[in-house]
Amino acid sequence: MERLEDYSSYILGVIGILTLALSYFLLRTDPEAAVPYAVTPPAQAQPGWKGEVLAEPSLKVSGSSLIQCYCPATGESLGRVLPTTASGIDRAIGDAKEAQVQWAQTTFAQRRRVLKTMLKFVLENQEIIARVACLDSGKTMVDASLGEILVTAEKLKWTIDHGEEALRPERRPTNLLMMYKKNEVIWQPLGVVAACVSWNYPFHNLLSPVIASLFAGNAIIIKGSEATAWSSRYFATIASYALIACGHSSALVQSVTCWPDVAGHLTSHPDISHITFIGSRPVAHHVCASAAKALTPVCVELGGKDPAIILDDMSNSNFKRVCSILMRGTFQSAGQNCIGLERVIALPNVYTRLITHLTPLISALRPGSILNSSPDTPIDIGASISSANFPKLESLIQDAVAQGARLLVGGSQFQHPEFPRGHYFQPTFIVDVTPSMRIAQTELFAPVFLLMRAESVDHAISIANSTPYALGASVYGSSSRDLERVVREVHAGMVAVNDFAVTYMVQLPFGGMKGSGYGRFAGKEGLRGVCNQKAITRDRWPGVKTSIPGPMDLPLKGRGAAQRAWGMAQGIVWLGYGDWRGKVKGIKGLIGL
C-alpha cells in the first residue's frame, strides 16, 4: 500500500495530462473548419413551380440581345438573362485581377477552408442543386446526382486531401557537372484564368475549373453556355458566397454569359493567363485562334466517340452487370455526355446475346420531365438541350439503315404527349453498324445505343481506333492478356477496365488526343496546368559557385585561344557524359593535354 502511495502523485499527474490533452482535442478550434452559409435558391426550383410554356422555345428573343432561358424538358420559360458585353468582360477581369493579388498570398490551409465550406454546402443542398440542373438542362435527378453532384464532391474532396501535395515544391535530380547545385520545381499562381464550358453539366462544368483555379491561387472568369445561362448565375454564387463566408473577396470568381460574337473578347484578352475550353470541335477552332492573338495557352476538352469493347470471355455472372453499365453509360443525360458510350463493339459470342438482352430494356425506357411527373411514373431519360440536332440524327440513322444496319428501337424525334414543347429523341437501338457508316464516325450526343460486331480482339481494336476521336474507352472481359492489350493499343486519353468512366471518380487526369483535344484537367496534372511551373537551381554548398574557366572567358586572349577554349569545351562534355574512358579524355581536355 505504501508503494502505491509513492506512485500516486505520478498517476495523478498522468491522469491530469491526459485530461488536458483530451480537452484540447475536443475543444480546440479547427482553423480549416467549414463555415456555414446560405444561398437563396431560385424560385423556379421550388416544388410545384409552373412557368409559361413558350410557343416556340428558343434562346433568341426577337428584336433583343437578351437570352431567353427555358426548360428543355417542358418548354417553360425560366426568365431572361442580359448577356455580358465586352466592357462588362473588361470590368470582370479587372476586378478579378485586383482581388487575385491578395488571394495569391493565402496559405493552402486558407484555400482548403474555402473548399471545405463549398463541400459542406453542396452536401447539404443536393436536392436544390439537382433541381436547378434539371430545369436548365432537362436531365433527370439521378443523372444530376451522378453527373453533377457526385463528381463535384469528389473533386472538392480530392483537392482538399491532395491538392497541397500536388503543388508542393518538388526536388529534381542533378548530374556530375552540376553536382554542386540543388534543383527544384515550384508551382505558382498564373493570375486570372478563364474557363469556357459546355451546357451538358451546368453545375459540374462550371464549378470544376473554379475549384482548381482557386486552390492554385488564381482568380477565374467562368463563361457558361448561353443555353444554361439561368443556372450559371446560381451555381457561380455558390462559389462566390463561400469565399465571402471565409473572409475573402467574391471578385475572385466572375461569371459571364455572352453571345458568340462577344466571346472572342474574353478568349483574346491579354490579361487572361490560361483558358480551359469544354465544348465542340468547331467552336474550339475559334477559341484557339482567338487565344493565339495573346499567346494564351488553352486546355481543350472536346467530344468523343468512346468505344466499349466487349470480349467473348465475359462470364455469365458478369453479363447483366456489364449490360447495366452499358445502359447507364449510353443513356446518362440522354446521351449528352462527352465520355458517354457512343459505340459498343462486341465479339461474336456475345454479340447476339447483347441484342436479345438489351432490346426489351431499351424499348422500355421512358423519356420525360422528372420534376413534372408523378412519383408513380418513373422517368428513365430526360430531354435533349435542343431539337436542332434531331434532323441530322434521323438522317444518320436512315443512312445507316440504307447501308445494312438494323434499327431495332426508336430512331426519330419523340413528341411527348405531356410536354409537347420539350425536346425529346426516342431511346434508340441500332445494330450491325460498320465503321464506314457516317453514324459510326460522328459524335451523336444523343440517346442512341450503337452496336458494332468485331470478329476478333484485333478487329475490335481496329474499329475502336477508326474514328477521328480519342477521348475515353472501356473494355470488359476476363482475360488479363486481352484486357491489357486493349488498354495499350486503343487510342484514348482514359481507359476503364471492366467499368465505365471511373478514372474521373478518382481524379485521374481527364482529356484525350486526336480530335478530342489536348491538355488535361483533374488530378495533379490538371491542378498544375493552371499554375506557372517555375524551375529553380541554387548553390548546394557555401562558397562553391559556377565560374567561367579562364580559357573560355570572353573575350578570348592570346594566340591559339580559340583552340584552347574548344578543347576545354570538349573536355567538359566528355567528363560529364562519357564512359570512364571518355571521362579520362575529358580530364585531359580540361588540363590542355
With beta carbons less than 8 A apart as the criterion, state whether 266 and 88 touch.
no
Residue type, 14: V
Give pLDDT, residue 314: 87
CB atoms inside a 10 Å sphere around CB 552: 14
pTM: 0.92
pLDDT (tens digit, 9 = 90+) per residue, 48-94?
999 999 999 999 999 999 999 999 999 999 999 999 999 999 999 99
pLDDT (tens digit, 9 = 90+) per residue, 570-580?
999 999 999 99
Pairing type for strands 517-518 and 298-301 reads antiparallel
Hey, which bits of 434-543 come out as E strands? 448-453, 469-470, 472-476, 494-497, 513-514, 517-518, 531-539
Residue 317's pLDDT band (cuts 50, 70, 90): confident
Residue 21's pLDDT band (cuts 50, 70, 90): low
Q: How far apart are CA 510 and CA 209, in angstroms?
A: 12
Give pLDDT, residue 345: 98
pLDDT at 240 over 70: yes
pLDDT at 349 over 70: yes
Looking from the CA of 322 toward its CB, the CA atoms found within 13 Å total: 26
pLDDT at 266 over 60: yes
Residue 191's pLDDT band (cuts 50, 70, 90): very high
- pLDDT above 70 covers a percentage of the chain that reads 96
CB atoms inside a 10 Å sphere around CB 223: 25
Give pLDDT, residue 411: 97
pLDDT (tens digit, 9 = 90+) per residue, 425-452?
999 999 999 999 999 999 999 999 999 9
Residue 15's pLDDT band (cuts 50, 70, 90): confident
pLDDT (tens digit, 9 = 90+) per residue, 195-225?
999 999 999 999 999 999 999 999 999 999 9
Give me the count of residues in the chain: 593
387 Cβ neighbours under 8 A, 6+ residues apart: 413, 423
Residue 376's pLDDT band (cuts 50, 70, 90): confident
What is the set of active-site residues?
Answer: 301
Mean pLDDT, range 390-413, rounded to an integer: 98
With beta carbons less than 8 A apart as the criterion, state whether 189 and 215 touch.
no
Mean pLDDT, range 454-467, rounded to an integer: 98
Q: How far apart are CA 369 and CA 363, in angstroms?
A: 18
Give pLDDT, residue 259: 94
pLDDT at 279 over 80: yes
Which DSSP letter does residue 521 get? B
Q: Is 316 helix (H, G, I), strand (E, B) or coil?
A: helix
pLDDT at 1 over 60: no
551 Cβ neighbours under 8 A, 6+ residues apart: 561, 564, 565, 567, 568, 592
Residue 592's pLDDT band (cuts 50, 70, 90): confident
DSSP-assigned letters across all residues of 3-20: HHHHHHHHHHHHHHHHHH
pLDDT (tens digit, 9 = 90+) per residue, 474-483?
999 999 999 9
Give pLDDT, residue 8: 67
Residue 164's pLDDT band (cuts 50, 70, 90): very high
- Average per-residue pLDDT for the chain: 94
Q: How far apart are CA 75 and CA 77, in angstroms?
A: 6
Mean pLDDT, range 529-542, rounded to an integer: 96
pLDDT (tens digit, 9 = 90+) per residue, 95-133?
999 999 999 999 999 999 999 999 999 999 999 999 999
Of residues 332, 311, 333, the one with CA closest to residue 322? 311
Give pLDDT, residue 22: 67
Mean pLDDT, range 403-420, rounded to an integer: 97
Give pLDDT, residue 7: 61
Q: Which CA distances in Å does 128 have to 120, 122, 502, 522?
A: 14, 9, 25, 25
Q: Euclidean distance between the first and final Cα of the chain, in Å?
A: 88
Give pLDDT, residue 2: 54
Give pLDDT, residue 27: 59
